[in-house]
Amino acid sequence: MARDDLMEKVVSLCKRRGFVYQGSEIYGGLAGMWDYAHYGLALKNNIKQLWWHTFVDSRDDMYGIDTAVIMNPKAWESSGHISSFADPLGDKMFNTMFKTSVGAGEEAMTAYLRPETAGGIFVNFKNVVDSFHPVLPFGIAQIGKVFRNEIAPRDFIFRVRELEQMEVEYFVRPSEWERYFEEWRKKVPGYLAAVGIDMDKVHELDVPDAERAHYSKRTIDFEFDFPFGTKELCGLAYRTSFDLSAHERGSGVELRYVDQETGEKIVPHVIEPSFGVDRTVLAVLLSAYAEDDLGRSSAEASEGKGEKRILLKFNPSIAPVKAAVFPLLKNKPELVTKAREIYSNLKSQIPNTMWDDNGNIGKRYRRQDEIGTPWCITVDFETLENNTVTVRDRDSGGQKRVEAEELVLILQHGLAGY
Ligand code: ATP
């Protein structure tokens, strides 16, 4: 598939099937703004949940936080963002932080929408240490919206002006930064693979001195072969003690960690894995997109009119819909009643199960393939006799008959495999 073609196909599928729409589309849109529809939102939530599970809930050295988008502007002054968070534009540098104002009349002051979630983490370092008494090394994690007035937003949800980030600031003893940098360097690809990104298309780039952000002493970008070029998907930065020291100077508040055994006061150093949610969604969609001849060659061809089929091969754990239940014919009340019963039972155990009786079976398969639903369950006349149903596998198109009572277990098993 030509690379441009792939991008066009994914963008069009996202709109057609309700994943992502252009923001304010009926008014001609607004550059760099996109809206997530039902399935895109479910996909995005699953990607975020897997991240949170991997990096926060399954560990015992991590603390979650959800901080305000608008911070005291002094914080951005201290962190160097007001002077340095800028991209080249003609002769001048253009600061890409969005300005807003807080308060009314004479009280009004200029403030900024945060351009990264990290800022909210650093200013809460002391609070977290005082509340939880963590032992080094430990991390603080945040998922949230950030805003960047990008000079040239482009490539669908790759470069946008309103985005979400998933970031960890991992605090370590200064002498141990290399060890933990290497540890995170292995964990990042582990997550990317688990979320369903094609790892043959992911490459590490050791970012040269001149191109690193002002706060970083070492950065590795994890790049992905997007159809429009090999570009940064997420990054791993060694931020030294830059931020804590800067906020200490700016606020006058001591931001240190006190070693409980020696009483020594340390300004920890920081390793930062930083992921963009929207870029991850795009890489997952591009990795999952496939076309094959199933619609032409199999028994499904007669109903699917022999077209090439399009499918999204999501890992079941992040698929927006886990299973769809169909009555073979929707004008046979006994089939519909039985299918509804099986559907309700399944949905109570596996929430993202969907009812689908729209169009013939071939059309329903096409639709579910495009949504990326791993399993389709059909209730037919045989079900009324012996309580068995067919389960059709998205990727192979293969079908098998199973006891309706075993469905929950079979699907749970399939979901746990990823
Ligand atoms: P780029 O070089 O592509 O502008 P960056 O180096 O400015 O990215 P970081 O500041 O390291 O990006 O931000 C961390 C992550 O946030 C990126 O790896 C990316 O996934 C995401 N990200 C940053 N800017 C954008 C954007 N404008 N649109 C979508 N995602 C973004």
Residues 192 and 112 in one domain: yes
Residue nearest to atom 24 of ligand 1 (CA): 159
Residues 243 and 377 in one domain: no
Ligand 1, CB within 6 Å, residue ranges: 148, 150, 159-160, 163, 165, 232-235, 274-276, 278-279
Is residue 305 assigned to a domain?
A: no
Residues 346 and 262 in one domain: no
| Predicted local distance difference test score (pLDDT) of residue 296 | 61
| Predicted local distance difference test score (pLDDT) of residue 260 | 86
- How far away, in angstroms, is 232 Cα from ligand 1 center? 7
Residues 141 and 95 in one domain: yes
Contact 324, 364 (CB under 8 A): yes
| Predicted local distance difference test score (pLDDT) of residue 215 | 83
Return the best residue to mutate from 163, 188, 238, 270 for the ligand 1 pocket (most ligand atoms within 8 A of CB).
163
Residues 336 and 381 in one domain: yes
Residue 100 to residues 70, 112, 116, 191, 227, Cα–Cα distance (Å):
9, 6, 16, 35, 35
Is residue 306 assigned to a domain?
A: no
Is residue 302 assigned to a domain?
A: no
Residues 364 and 253 in one domain: no
| Predicted local distance difference test score (pLDDT) of residue 299 | 53
SS3 content of the chain, % helix, strand, coil (to 5): 40, 30, 30
CATH number, domain of 83, equals 3.30.930.10
Residue position matching structure tokens 């006061």? 265
Residue 96 to residues 79, 87, 164, Cα–Cα distance (Å):
15, 7, 16
Residues with pLDDT less than 50, the chain: none
Can you tell me the distance from the alpha carbon of 353 to that of 245, in angstroms, rounded to the nearest whole number? 50
Can you tell me the distance from the alpha carbon of 224 to that of 284, in angstroms, rounded to the nearest whole number? 11
pTM to 2 decimal places: 0.96
- Atom of ligand 1 lying closest to residue 161 CA: 27
Residues 120 and 233 in one domain: yes
Question: What is the domain count for the chain?
Answer: 2
- Atom of ligand 1 lying closest to residue 280 CA: 20
Is residue 291 assigned to a domain?
A: no
Contact 324, 356 (CB under 8 A): yes
Where among 286, 301, 335 does a domain terminate? Answer: 286
Can you tell me the distance from the alpha carbon of 295 to that of 317, in angstroms, rounded to the nearest whole number? 25
Residue nearest to atom 25 of ligand 1 (CA): 159
Residues 375 and 237 in one domain: no
Is residue 309 assigned to a domain?
A: no
Residue nearest to atom 1 of ligand 1 (CA): 232
Residues 273 and 387 in one domain: no
Residue 137, preceding peptide bond in cis (omega within 30° of 0): yes
Residues 76 and 212 in one domain: yes
Is residue 338 assigned to a domain?
A: yes
Is residue 249 assigned to a domain?
A: yes
CATH number, domain of 374, equals 3.40.50.800
Domain containing 49 equals: 3-286
Contact 10, 286 (CB under 8 A): yes
Among 384, 381, 375, residue whose Cα is nearest residue 354: 375
Can you tell me the distance from the alpha carbon of 303 to that of 271, in angstroms, rounded to the nearest whole number? 54
* pLDDT, mean over the chain: 95
Residues 409 and 265 in one domain: no
Per-residue pLDDT tens digits for 96-107: 999 999 999 999
- Atom of ligand 1 lying closest to residue 159 CA: 28
Contact 272, 169 (CB under 8 A): yes
Can you tell me the distance from the alpha carbon of 413 to that of 123, in angstroms, rounded to the nearest whole number? 43
CA angle 126, 237, 72 (to 5 degrees): 40
- Atom of ligand 1 lying closest to residue 231 CA: 3
